Amino acid sequence: MTQVDVARVLQEEHDLKLHPTAIAKMEQRSADKPRVIRLSEARAIADMFGLTLDEMTSTADEEIQALAREFAQLGKEADALRSTTREAMERLESLASSLAVPEDELTPAIRQARQQIASSLNALEGEHLTRVQMGQEFIRDLRLKVMQASGLDAPDSSVEGLRGLQLSAHAAHWMRVLYRLYPGISRAELAQAIRADKLDVNTRLAAMLEPPDDTGTNWALAAVFAHGLWGHGAAEELDDRVARMMQENPHRSIKFTRHAALTEMALEVQQEMENKWDAVGEAGRGLDLIWRNPEELKRWIEETKAEDPGMWNNTSGAEGELP
């Protein structure tokens, strides 16, 4: 947008008559000939760009500090959620004897409750792991660029904590499932389909599934089976179905149509999952037993990559990673 454009918009939408040279003086902020900006002008300019006055006048340092405060608040909320989850888990453990009975002996109410607990925990863990990894990767890449620009040696990225190893094992397990069940689909295509902006669809789809062994679902499970079933991501499939259903029943609301489409998708994924569930268990056999053992996890990841090298070098698409 040029200075002429800004002047025209201010006059047409805010009834402010400013010459383009006045706009230029505002931008240059000359110390010798300062152009005082009236409050009405500042408000109009901020409104034109969809900003508040605070946002328009704040410096980059102030914005970063404000963002840091937001993350600090998120940290406090995460601590509270962790505490609440810990208390809920303690109560769950006290009821273990009531839940740890054969499937056919469970009452319908208990069976539904157990499935709901498992699905909720898996959905929470999947979304949390994804966003944590994306944030860590962003900070790590940014730090690496700064160090390289300063001529410093890059930090050793081979040393991972337990959480990083769990993320890698989680990705390796579902990459193995994808490669074994659907060898024609690349990991790059899958990664593109389950980026953070599309994670919500996979999480909602996962909550509607019931694995045959009642282990609970997660976003990665939904993403892999959806991608293998339709050849593209769940979000894209949902958009296609909503568009088709809206054409067939234009009087229905978008919210109702999206729910109907997602329910239809869940039924298809459920059938696909049941038909191929044995491969899921085989791909992750023993992983739960070593989940909190860093050395064993690292060994499992290395063995998984060595056993199925094709899944890390799939040529049907560009390079990519699970988020």
Domain ranges of the chain: 3-59, 112-312
Mean pLDDT (whole number) for 127-149: 66
Q: Which amino acid is at 43?
A: R
Distance CA 60, CA 109 (A): 54
Is the separation of the CB atoms in 309 and 177 below 8 Å?
A: no
Cα 136 to its chain centre, rounded Å, is 13
* Long-range pairs for 303-308: beta carbons < 8 A, 24 or more residues apart: 304/172, 304/173, 304/176, 305/172, 308/176, 308/179, 308/180
pLDDT at 159: 42
What separation in angstroms does the CA of 280 have from each of 28, 121, 175, 246, 290? 62, 19, 11, 35, 17
Tokens for 17, please give them. 């008559």
Q: When comparing pLDDT for 47 and 128, which is higher? A: 47
Q: Which of 34-43, 99-108, 143-152, 233-242 has the highest mean pLDDT?
A: 233-242
- The model's confidence at residue 128, banded by pLDDT at 50, 70 and 90, is low
Cβ neighbours around 230 below 10 Å, total: 17
Q: Is 224 a residue whose pLDDT tops 70?
A: yes
Q: Is 280 a residue whose pLDDT tops 80?
A: yes
pLDDT at 267: 93
Distance CA 228, CA 225 (A): 5
The pLDDT mean for the chain works out to 74
What separation in angstroms does the CA of 187 have from each of 8, 233, 283, 317? 49, 12, 16, 8
Whether the pTM exceeds 0.75: the reply is no
Least confident of 31-35, 179-183, 220-224: 31-35
What separation in angstroms does the CA of 103 have from each of 42, 108, 135, 207? 66, 10, 39, 20
Mean pLDDT (whole number) for 171-185: 81
* Long-range pairs for 120-123: beta carbons < 8 A, 24 or more residues apart: 120/207, 121/216, 122/206, 122/216, 122/217, 122/218, 123/203, 123/206, 123/207, 123/217, 123/218, 123/219
CA-only gyration radius of the chain, Å: 26
Tokens for 60, please give them. 């980059």
Mean pLDDT (whole number) for 300-310: 76
Q: Is 229 a residue whose pLDDT tops 80?
A: yes
